[in-house]
Amino acid sequence: MEYIGLITGFILVILGIWGFLTQKNILKMIIGFTISDTGINVIIVSISYLKNRTAPILNRPDLLTDTVNKITDPVPQALVLTAIVIGVGVTALMLSYALRLYQEKNTLDINNFKDLKW
Partner 1 sequence: MVNPIHIVSISLGVAFFLGFLRKANHNLTSTIMLLAFAANAFISAQWLWAFIYSNTEPFYIFTAGFRPPYSISLLMGRNEAIFTFLINIAGLLSGIFMLKTYLRHGVYAMMAFLGLILGLNIIILTRDLFNFFVFMEVSSIATAGMIILIKNVKSVSAGFKYIVASSLISILLLLGIVFIYYFGGSLNIDDMITNHLLVSKGAEVAVFLVLMSILLELKPFPANGWALDVYEGSLPGIGALLSATSATAVYFVLNKLLAFANPYWYNVVAVVGMISFIGSNLLGIKQKNAQRLLGYSSVGQIGLLLVILGFSNTLGEKFEYIAFGVLISHYLAKSGLFWLAGIVKQDNIKNWAALQKKPIFLFFMGVFLFTLAGFPPFPSFFAKWQLIMELSTAGMYAWVIGILFGSFLEAVYLFRWFGYAMKGEHNDLPMFELPWHKILPVVIGVLSVFGISYISKDWLPGGTSLNFIPLYFIAFMYLIDFAPAKVKNTIVILVITYYSWLVIPNYYNTDIIRLIFSSIFLIGAILTLIPGYLKKGSRKGFYPAALLMFSGLIGLVESTNIYQFFFSWELMTIGSYLLIIRGKYSMPHAFKYLLFSVGGAYFMLMGFGMAHAGQASLSFDILRTGVPYSSIIFLLIAIGFMTKLASLGFHIWLPGAYGESEADVAPMVSSILINAGVFGFIILMTHIPDANIGYFNIPYMLGWIGVISALVGNIMASLQEDARKLVAYSSIGVMGYVLFGMAMMSHLGWLTAITYTINHFLFKGLLFLAIGGVILRTKTFNMYEMGGLIKKMPWSFIAVLIGIITLAGIPPLSGYAGKWLFYNAIVLKGWYIQGAFIMFAGIIAFLYCFRLIYAIFLGQLKDEHRNIKEASVWFIIPQYIIIITIMLFSAFPQYVLNPIGNWLSQYFPNNALVWNGSLATSSLGYWNAFNIMMIVMGMFVVLLLFLLLVNRGSKKVGQFDIVYAAERPERPETTHMAYNLYAHYNKAIGFLITPWITKSWDNISEWVNTIANHTRKIYNGNGQAYALHILIYIVIAYLIINGGLF
Q: How far is the CB of 28 from partner 1 (least distance, A)?
A: 11
Q: Whose Cβ is closer to partner 1: residue 2's or residue 97's?
A: 97
45, 63, 66: which is closest to 54 by C-alpha?
63
Q: Tell whether residue 60 is a contact of partner 1 (CB under 8 A).
A: no
Q: Tell whether residue 94 is a contact of partner 1 (CB under 8 A).
A: yes
Q: Tell whether residue 2 is a contact of partner 1 (CB under 8 A).
A: no
Q: Whose Cβ is closer to partner 1: residue 58's or residue 94's?
A: 94
Instruction: Give Cβ neighbours of residue 106 (< 8 Å, ≥ 6 apart).
Output: none
Q: Whose Cβ is closer to partner 1: residue 62's or residue 107's?
A: 107
Q: How far is the CB of 38 from partner 1 (least distance, A)?
A: 11
